[in-house]
A and B are shown apart, each in its own frame.
Chain A
Amino acid sequence: MTSRFNMRSLILSTGATLLLPLLILFSLFLLLRGHNEPGGGFIGGLVAAAAISLKLFAEDYRAARTMLRVHPLQLVGVGLVLAAGASLPALFVGESFFTAQWWTLNLPILGSLKLSTPLIFDIGVYLGVVGSVLTVVFTLAEAEHS
């Protein structure tokens, strides 16, 4: 059964296939650069959600759902756990709840890598946003599909 929105436009589906990996990559790029340049978990998450929705419109609900592999609500769960979990490390070093913690890793060839709880938190936000938006989009599209 085809959806009413699924016009099966060749241009759209070819374009989507090419754009999708770039968009996902771009969303990750936005997520990681967010601390210093415009970007961040919220924006990155929205881009990723839009990218997967593009797949949904270019092909159909099943294709998008298969591509994601997991249920979007699971992403929400993981995201919330990461974001909430980022509040805890501070407690172990005796600082108050949610104080940002920074660790610098010196990698042999790549140079130093700075990791922090705000980064974990931002990844949590990213997953939470992708998951929530896609849950809504998929649920509505699924109702359409049946």
Chain B
Amino acid sequence: MVMIAVLSCFVLAALAPRLHSLTGRQTGWLLALLPAAIFLYFASLIPLISSGETVRHAYQWLPSMAIQFSFLVDGLSLLFVLLISGIGFFILAYAGRYQEGHPALGRFFLFLLGFMGSMLGLVLSDNLISLFVFWELTTISSFMLIGFNHEDDDTRKKAHQGLMVTVFGGLALMTGFIMLGMAAGSFELSEILAGPSLTEHSLYLPMLGLILLGAFTKSAQTPFHFWLPNAMAAPTPVSAYLHSATMVKAGIYLLARLHPTLGGSASWLTILTLIGALTMLTGIILASRSTGIKRVLAYSTVMALGTLTMLLGLGTEKAALAAVTFLLAHALYKGALFMIAGILDHEAGVKDFRDVSGLRRLMPKTTLAAMLAALSLAGVIPLFGFIGKELLLEAVLSGSRWQLGLTIATVTANIFVVLVGALLALKPWFGKTITTPKAAHDPGPALLAGPLTLAALGLLFGLMPAIPADYLLRAAASAVYGEPVSGTLALWHGINLPLMLSVLSLSLGLLLYRFWTGWREHTIFIERLSQFGPEAGYNKLMQGLVSFSTWQTKTLQNGNLRHYLITTLATVVLLVGWAVLRLDKIALNIDFSGLQLQEVTVVGLLLITVLAAVTAKSFLVSVALIGALGFGVALIYVFFSAVDVGITQVLVETITVLLLVLVLYRLPEFRQLSSRANRARDATIALLSGGLITVLILLVTNASSMNSISSYFLEKSVSEGYGRNVVNVILVDFRALDTLGEIFVLALVAIGVYSMMHLRTGVLPVTNADKRHAVQKQREKSAKTGVKP
């Protein structure tokens, strides 16, 4: 059933474009039924999971490599699944209306559902390898979503940036996972988590570094935070989905998931809390300086991700509970706020805080949702965000290290969070009404259902925190902490230090809001700093990569066939020759006894043909001689009773001659163009590589261990392959996968030739006169520059 939930997303994704052309306007609602069903199914597991049980399903995938398709539902994955499917429901309905009339809407649904399926798979996977596959699938599908408006140059660049950063992290993650699997002795998360902590393992540090690299790039931790705001190039429903519940939380999920096994060490504590706190401050300070509504939200997401990383770094029981509470609160208000940003754009045509004011009367329902969500973000009592913030402060204050520093950082961040909350809760709605580009009005239910429901949940959970705590959060925190967590959530903790710090940040934040413009003007230096920031580094790196590949393409792939051959052969001669020379003893048993007359004759003929071919005076003659050479080799195969190989050789030679004859016509007339020195160099390389191959063959035939596999094939050909022709049985049965690969290569070659010949536009001359003229010109040119044509 769990597997069906994941796979159904992909199936529906494949059907979505067709469905969209059938159902038109209502497609969004229709597709939303799937996440709704998934939500209900997993919601029915709540009683079981909250009592501390877990559900596990496993299907064999590659049993020989211990890779299973296995799924694990525990508190943590259940929390994520409910967020992904619940918010996904509203997003699909929202996207159907928001993107209405877009010519590629069907494709949009395809990517969105594909993304949803990948995300569900990621959080439900019990196997590291399948988790990694889903991880990469989220990267790819989010690339498609961010770059959805791909006609725009800037959008493409930003989508590319997100892809590069997360793929880079993914590569590190894969290596880390392999180490983790080897260290733990299992690739099943349930077994790894049940096993001992790996912090003392010798591979611990490299493994931790690589996994953190993967998680930090995905979850936009400093210095990788720059891709996330740029991902705002995506259509708003995508931003709402990717930044509330899913994509960027994948890294957080991974850290939370592996915390029991990898957490608790000094390096874990140091790296996660410091990077987390740094990200938290960077994100929120950049948010306070931005004016684009989506940009402010994106940077505040960076802040939230940093906070979560910091909490996971602290790793105490309290911090685990704070992390899952903060995560749920953030998903609720951030999903709502992004959708509201989309509504402002869609219904009023505004994207910037400076262009909007006083919409309260025109959009009363939107205002209500926005205020609830934004106050939750600011952590105002009695919303759920308040509880999240109180727990955060408590966790930081009771942390095992750097209490003072982290508390100051958190309070500072909170001051700016209040500023951002106030911007969102007040700026667009109150004050003097500015005329907006579009006549502002409340949207229909498809756009409004999501923000209203999510914001209302923020209020409900704030007033009745026992509901999320008992049903979901305690089980999730237990999964993060590794042992049952007993804490509970309450709105009122009495007058204590966290509350006083909250009041402090609230008042300072509101003060800052009054002087928002002034604050932005006074901190303009931050903009200048950004030219030394990580994004500038990323751009430099990309430019460097491009110029490096330009250089190496010009050097290695310069289009000169002779150059290619020389490079390839010389490399082979050097590397293989070096390996051969390093052998302890080179035993070449050359035994001429038993040589038969016909063999000597054929070899003699071959030698004569070779000599004739290299000294031939016309293309046609050399082609014919090379053909003859092939036929001679075929004869040798026949002598050694490799009839199949012989026949193949004859046929391949025939076809080669046919093809050569067809291209021959395109070649310039046969002339001696290379200098004597060049020819000597070519001859040396040819002799060396031929000689090396001869030595290799003699070495291989002398090695006795090579017989085992062929005797196996001979023995099993009839009994298991039901065929007497061993060669064929190997090709189509024993080694069918190799053959499949080979015919795919063959097909690629055919397509390559076909497209090269059909796509060229007037590059090659067409008529004979043109051709001769072009050849002549080419020669003159090369005579001047000294470059061989």
List chain A positions with a Cβ less than 8 A from chain B. Answer: 4-5, 34-43, 46-47, 49-50, 53, 57, 72-73, 76, 79-80, 83-84, 86-87, 96, 98, 100, 102, 114, 116, 118-119, 121-122, 124-125, 128-129, 131-133, 135-137, 139-144, 146
Hey, what's the 0/1 contact readout for B732-756 against A, CB within 8 Å counting as 1?
Answer: 1100110110011011011101100
Q: Is the CB of B743 within 8 A of A79?
A: yes
Q: Is the CB of B732 within 8 A of A121?
A: yes
Please, which residues of chain B bring their CB within 8 A of the CB of A142?
A: 757
Whether B644 is near chain A, meaning CB under 8 Å from some CB there, is yes
Closest Cβ of chain A to B743, distance in Å, is: 4
Please, which residues of chain A bring their CB within 8 A of the CB of B736?
A: 86-87, 98, 100, 118, 121
Please, which residues of chain A bring their CB within 8 A of the CB of B709?
A: none
Please, which residues of chain B bring their CB within 8 A of the CB of A140?
A: 659, 662-663, 753, 757
Closest Cβ of chain B to A87, distance in Å, is: 7
Q: Closest residue of chain A to B758, judged by CB?
A: A139
Bound-state CA distance A136–B721 (Å) is 34
Please, which residues of chain A bring their CB within 8 A of the CB of B659?
A: 136-137, 140
Q: Is the CB of A43 within 8 A of B751?
A: no
Closest Cβ of chain A to B619, distance in Å, is: 14
Q: Closest residue of chain B to A146, judged by CB?
A: B766
Among B661, B729, B743, B750, the residue within 8 A (CB) of A35 is B729
Q: Is the CB of B724 within 8 A of A139?
A: no
Q: Closest residue of chain B to A133, judged by CB?
A: B655
Query: In B225-261, which residues have CB < 8 Å from any A CB?
Result: none
Q: Is the CB of A118 within 8 A of B732?
A: yes
Bound-state CA distance A116–B732 (Å) is 11
| Chain B contact residues: helix, strand, loop or mixed | helix
Q: Is the CB of A35 within 8 A of B722?
A: yes
Please, which residues of chain B bring their CB within 8 A of the CB of A83?
A: 739-740, 743
Contacts A40-B732, A118-B732 given; does A129 touch B746 at CB 8 Å: yes
Q: Is the CB of A38 within 8 A of B644?
A: yes
A-B contact pairs, 9 of them (CB 8 A): A5-B662, A35-B732, A43-B644, A53-B658, A76-B750, A118-B733, A125-B743, A133-B655, A143-B757
Q: Is the CB of A50 within 8 A of B654?
A: yes
Bound-state CA distance A133–B643 (Å) is 22
Whether B291 is near chain A, meaning CB under 8 Å from some CB there, is no
Whether B7 is near chain A, meaning CB under 8 Å from some CB there, is no
Q: Is the CB of A40 within 8 A of B724?
A: no
Among A36, A80, A137, the residue within 8 A (CB) of B725 is A36
Whether B614 is near chain A, meaning CB under 8 Å from some CB there, is no
Whether B727 is near chain A, meaning CB under 8 Å from some CB there, is yes
Q: Is the CB of A43 within 8 A of B647?
A: yes
Contacts A53-B655, A83-B743, A135-B754 given; does A116 touch B722 at CB 8 Å: yes
Hey, what's the 0/1 contact readout for B443-465 against A, CB within 8 Å counting as 1?
Answer: 00000000000000000000000
Q: How large is the interface on B (under 10, 10 to 19, 20 to 34, 35 or more residues)?
A: 35 or more
Q: Closest 9 interchain pairs by CB?
A: A35-B723, A46-B651, A132-B750, A135-B750, A140-B662, A128-B743, A118-B732, A38-B643, A40-B728
Whether B547 is near chain A, meaning CB under 8 Å from some CB there, is no
Query: In B731-789, which residues have CB < 8 Å from any A CB?
Result: 731-733, 736-737, 739-740, 743-744, 746-747, 749-751, 753-754, 757-758, 766
Contacts A53-B655, A73-B751, A118-B733 given; does A87 touch B740 at CB 8 Å: yes
Whether B404 is near chain A, meaning CB under 8 Å from some CB there, is no
Among B654, B662, B728, the residue within 8 A (CB) of A144 is B662
Closest Cβ of chain A to B652, distance in Å, is: 7
Q: Closest residue of chain B to A126, judged by CB?
A: B743
Please, which residues of chain B bring their CB within 8 A of the CB of A98?
A: 736-737
Bound-state CA distance A46–B630 (Å) is 15
Closest Cβ of chain A to B634, distance in Å, is: 12
Bound-state CA distance A59–B356 (Å) is 76
Whether B684 is near chain A, meaning CB under 8 Å from some CB there, is no
Bound-state CA distance A87–B740 (Å) is 10
Q: Is the CB of A35 within 8 A of B747?
A: no
Known: A40-B727, A135-B754. 20 other contacts (CB 8 A): A4-B665, A34-B732, A38-B647, A38-B727, A40-B731, A80-B743, A87-B736, A100-B721, A100-B736, A116-B722, A118-B721, A125-B739, A128-B746, A129-B746, A131-B747, A132-B746, A132-B747, A136-B750, A139-B753, A139-B757
Please, which residues of chain A bring their CB within 8 A of the CB of B731?
A: 40-42, 122, 125
Q: Is the CB of A136 within 8 A of B749?
A: yes
Closest Cβ of chain B to A46, distance in Å, is: 4
